[in-house]
Amino acid sequence: MIRNFKLQICPLTETSFIDKPRCHRVCRRSFDFHNSFQVCIRVLTMASIASNGEHKATKPPPTPSPLRNSKFFQSNMRILVTGGAGFIGSHLVDKLMENEKNEVIVADNYFTGSKDNLRKWIGHPRFELIRHDITEPLLIEVDQIYHLACPASPIFYKHNPVKTIKTNVIGTLNMLGLAKRVGARILLTSTSEVYGDPLVHPQPESYWGNVNPIGVRSCYDEGKRVAETLMFDYHRQHGIEIRIARIFNTYGPRMNIDDGRVVSNFIAQALRDEPLTVQAPGTQTRSFCYVSDMVDGLIRLMEGENTGPINIGNPGEFTMIELAETVKELINPKIEIKMVENTPDDPRQRKPDITNAKKMLGWEPKIKLRDGLPLMEADFRLRLGVAKKL
């Protein structure tokens, strides 16, 4: 009954409580916990952030088991890759697994990814694969989170737009909650689509973009913009260590053959002797980055000191007609190029300004489009069972 309840003040957070509810302000410990003058590490860290006015990283909580530090323990970095069964994610896993000190955990719901992309690691003692949808919370102990989970091809992200925005918003919230709980550093793979149909060209990170908030692409581009906002709010409010990569069109082996993105479409069409479908007007531009360059950039960003956002992409810029002509010349000179209808809100130009990536990460792409396309062609030939004519 209400008259039995007593108003009390938490001595650390100065929040008032009735009877024995929890401290909702910062640490969610019970009132009794504070009242006994034990010190909550999170409250102290928040207090020191407030007094310094800086956003220094919070002291990570103790590791889950002291055995993690024992000399017989095999790994010293436990890394979660969400969306690790997808195209970029699986290449990232390959690179992270090369380091024997890494233990890699993939969480994926296989919407656009596949176990097949990770088959060489299944059963490896330093690798774990979890079927998990990131719109649900994940309880796990990790040191780093590469957060990639999200369908990336416009055909797939528009297929179920509500699910796409939930993945970007609720999924990112869940991963930030996990990062906060275990003190992990988290990297978000954002996108050049945050610049929308850009009015500034090439796009520097300082450009705020030109995005249609109610268009058919907004589940993805606005979703990623909110994901970036959440990353910075968790960083400012909770001291989480964040990294944001703004990825520009990436291509390479393991893209889904019927993924719907332009490079995979053109290569598959060229190998199937089908016309290359250039969406009108064909003068729209994109800048294509080979996947190994992308993975190198993502790891440098995670390991470096800069939060970003940082553009990671190849500044070589091509119209879709130029791309079709290059694929035709390299793969199938007899093929026809056909103009087809475009989809709404297609960005007319896109090219990264990578000054920051060069300066802050010491990164720039190495593989030119003409060198990357044949590597992808070889992979598609193998999967489609189309041998090269001699």
Ligand X SMILES: O=C(O)[C@H]1O[C@H](OP(=O)(O)OP(=O)(O)OC[C@H]2O[C@@H](n3ccc(=O)[nH]c3=O)[C@H](O)[C@@H]2O)[C@H](O)[C@@H](O)[C@@H]1O
**Binding to ligand X by residue 284, rule CB under 6 A?**
yes
Task: Judge whether 312 and 288 are in contact, CB under 8 Å.
Answer: no
Determine if 192 is a binding residue for ligand X (CB under 6 A).
yes
Is residue 160 involved in binding ligand X (CB under 6 A)?
no
3-class secondary structure for 86-97? CHHHHHHHHHHH
- Got the DSSP string for 236-287? HHH---EEEEEE--EE-TTS-TT--SHHHHHHHHHHTT--EEEETTS--EEE
Enumerate residues 292-351 that contact ligand X by CB under 6 A.
320, 342, 346
- Residues binding ligand NAD (CB under 6 A): 82-83, 85-89, 108-113, 133-135, 148-152, 167, 171, 189, 191, 247, 249-250
CA distance 31 to 43: 13
Question: Which phi and psi angles does 300 have, rounded to 5°?
Answer: -60, -40
How far is the C-alpha of 163 from the C-alpha of 170, rounded, in Å? Answer: 10
As measured in angstroms, the least distance from the Cβ of 210 to ligand X is 14
The residue whose two tokens read 């709404």 is 344
From residue 195 to residue 234, the character string flagging contacts with ligand X as x (rule: CB under 6 A) and all else as - is ----------------------------------------
Least distance to ligand X, CB of residue 157, Å: 7
238, 286, 328, 351: which one contacts ligand X (CB under 6 A)? 286
Look at strands 317-319 and 285-287 and give their pairing. Answer: antiparallel
> How far is Cα of residue 225 from the mean position of the Cα atoms in its chain?
12
304 — phi, psi (to 5°)?
-85, -170
**DSSP code at position 379:** H
Q: State yes or no: is 251 an active-site residue.
A: no
Does residue number 153 form part of the binding site for ligand X (CB under 6 A)? yes
Catalytic residue among 157, 220, 251, 290: 220
From the list ligand NAD, ligand X, none, which binds 205 (C-beta under 5 to 8 Å, kind-based)? none
Smallest distance from the beta carbon of 149 to ligand NAD, in angstroms? 4
CB of 191 to ligand NAD, least distance (A): 4
Q: Which H/E stretch holds residue 78?
A: strand 77-82
What does the binding site for ligand X look like in residue numbers (CB under 6 A)? 152-154, 191-193, 247-249, 261-262, 265, 277-279, 284, 286, 320, 342, 346
Active-site amino acid positions: 220
